[in-house]
């Protein structure tokens, strides 16, 4: 019995309102915006909750990132060698402390000297680059594009000057909040290790604990939903940090080999910027090209060769090996998401846009599949085919 035969005798109200897909979608959209409107009206009630959430968010985020990096090691030692979790956690903490001591005593001074020198000399480097470019524009062969290039350079100078001036003004205007920022950083560094310890010790018990609060007939699906969200976050965080680390290592080796000035500082910048998908590495390449141009033309060629080699290793070997297709996001979707999230939420949107999108995608797809199986507005054929597809997917996952 198909959908039309089953609902042939229904009234017009049921057929066009209660059991109509378009009407149900409109009602859900209306309910969504109604909830947003209600929350906006009672924002004064939620403000204390937001202040509390903002206070606990920094140490919690730091602990979550470290948890996803260290938890596989703790799980592996527990399953493979039956080592108690607490013992592995303590050894990992000691290893991290030793690594931090080494970084503070060896790596930080080297990078700090280069960073201070680069910041101090950057205005002179930029002015020299502009003068060199303007001298090159005097070549008669460039006369057709001379006006466009000169206008582009002038606009870039004005933009950088305005950005620097606004940054200085904002910094001077927010000096009063420096104490609160320092306090937040200190509290984050002090509390995050304790949160991390208990997450590593008892984190594997969190999903069964949360699942118990769901209705009994929903517990299996809810547990799978939590597993998928946890898997997506773990894949993204571990993958991004791993790729960014090795990108920094590759650029460090490459810049040292070719003798690029400020190579270590620029390589560290490239590693951090690589946390921004697609845009990070090209943005980090801008100061490298400026410095290479001011050094020599052969240095510019060497920098471009290093960049091509790094991109080939990253895109062909490193990213597929580490990330794979675990996020199941098309590159166009990622780019549009980064552009939109950065324009709405700035840096926070760039950092959290992709993982939040991944979580929402999992939740929405789960709810939609459940709705298709249970709702009467979908035909029995659609529900049966969807259930068969889910069963095949489950069999494939079990086989893996």
The model's pLDDT over 278-323, given as tens digits with 9 standing for 90+, comes to 788 888 998 999 898 888 889 989 999 999 999 999 888 888 777 6
pLDDT confidence band for 8 (50 / 70 / 90): low
Q: Of 318, 288, 321, 281, which Cα lies nearest the Cα of 304?
A: 288
- pLDDT > 80? residue 202: yes
More confident residue, 387 or 290: 290
pTM: 0.77
Half-sphere exposure (CA, 13 Å, Cβ side) for 301? 3
Q: Would you state the pLDDT for residue 346?
A: 79
pLDDT beyond 60 at 169: no
Q: What percent of the chain has pLDDT over 90?
A: 33
Q: Which residue is associated with the tokens 């290039």?
A: 149
CA 123 vs. chain centroid, Å, equals 31
Q: What pLDDT is recorded for position 168?
A: 47
CB 379 within 8 A of CB 6: no
- CA 180 to CA 184: how far, in whole Å? 6
Q: What is the pLDDT of residue 119?
A: 79
In the chain, what percentage of residues exceed pLDDT 70?
75
CA-nearest of 294, 284, 283 to 125 is: 294
pLDDT of 348 above 70:
yes
Residue at token pair 């903490």: 93
CA–CA distances in Å: residue 95 to residues 68, 80, 100, 377: 17, 20, 9, 58
Q: How confident is the model at residue 379 (pLDDT cuts 50, 70, 90)?
A: low
Q: Which helix (H) or strand (E) element contains residue 378?
A: none
pLDDT band at 193 (very low <50, low <70, confident <90, very high): very high
Question: What average pLDDT does the segment 251-261 reach?
Answer: 94
Mean of the pLDDT values across residues 240-254?
94
Give the whole-angstrom CA distance, residue 54 versus residue 59. Answer: 10
- Does residue 228 have a pLDDT over 80? yes
The mean pLDDT of 259-272, rounded to a whole number, is: 92
The pLDDT of residue 159: 60
pLDDT digits 0-9 by tens, 123-150: 787 777 777 766 766 666 656 655 666 6
Bigger pLDDT: 177 vs 211: 211
User: How far is Cα of residue 286 from the mean position of the Cα atoms in its chain?
Assistant: 22
Task: Determine which of 130-144, 151-165, 195-209 has the lowest per-residue pLDDT on average.
Answer: 151-165
**Mean pLDDT computed over 233-251:** 92
CA distance 117 to 134: 25
């Amino acid at each position: 019995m198909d959908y039309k035969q089953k609902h042939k005798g229904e009234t017009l109200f049921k057929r066009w309102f209660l059991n109509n897909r378009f009407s149900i979608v409109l009602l859900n959209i209306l309910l969504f915006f109604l909830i947003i409107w209600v929350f906006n009206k009672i924002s004064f009630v939620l403000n204390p909750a937001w202040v509390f959430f903002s206070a606990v968010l920094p140490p919690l985020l730091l602990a979550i990132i470290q948890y996803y990096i260290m938890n596989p090691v703790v799980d592996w030692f527990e399953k493979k060698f039956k080592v108690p979790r607490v013992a592995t956690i303590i050894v990992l903490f000691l290893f991290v402390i030793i690594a931090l001591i080494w970084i503070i005593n060896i790596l930080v001074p080297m990078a700090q000297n280069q960073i201070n020198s680069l910041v101090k000399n950057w205005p002179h480097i930029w002015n020299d680059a502009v003068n060199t470019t303007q001298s090159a524009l005097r070549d008669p062969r460039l006369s057709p594009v001379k006006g466009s290039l000169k206008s582009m350079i002038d606009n870039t100078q004005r933009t950088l000057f305005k950005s620097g001036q606004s940054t200085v003004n904002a910094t001077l205007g927010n000096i009063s909040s420096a104490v609160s920022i320092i306090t937040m950083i200190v509290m984050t560094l002090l509390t995050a290790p304790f949160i991390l310890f208990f997450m590593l010790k008892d984190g594997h018990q969190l999903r069964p604990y949360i699942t118990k609060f769901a209705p009994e007939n929903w517990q299996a699906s809810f547990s799978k939903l939590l597993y998928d969200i946890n898997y997506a976050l773990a894949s993204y965080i571990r993958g991004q940090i791993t790729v960014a680390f090795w990108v920094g290592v590759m650029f460090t080796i490459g810049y040292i080999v070719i003798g690029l000035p400020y190579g270590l500082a620029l390589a560290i910048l490239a590693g951090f910027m690589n946390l921004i998908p697609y845009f990070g590495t090209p943005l980090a390449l801008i100061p490298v090209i400026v410095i290479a141009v001011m050094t020599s033309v052969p240095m510019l060629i060497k920098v471009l060769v290093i960049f091509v080699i790094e991109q080939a290793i990253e895109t062909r070997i490193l990213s597929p090996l580490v990330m794979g297709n675990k996020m199941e996001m098309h590159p166009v979707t990622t780019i549009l998401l980064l552009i939109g999230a950065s324009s709405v939420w700035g840096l926070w949107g760039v950092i959290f846009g992709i993982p939040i999108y991944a979580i929402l995608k999992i939740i929405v797809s789960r709810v939609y599949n459940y709705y298709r199986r249970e709702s009467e507005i979908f035909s029995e054929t659609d529900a049966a085919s969807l259930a068969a597809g889910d069963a095949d997917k489950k069999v494939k996952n079990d086989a893996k």
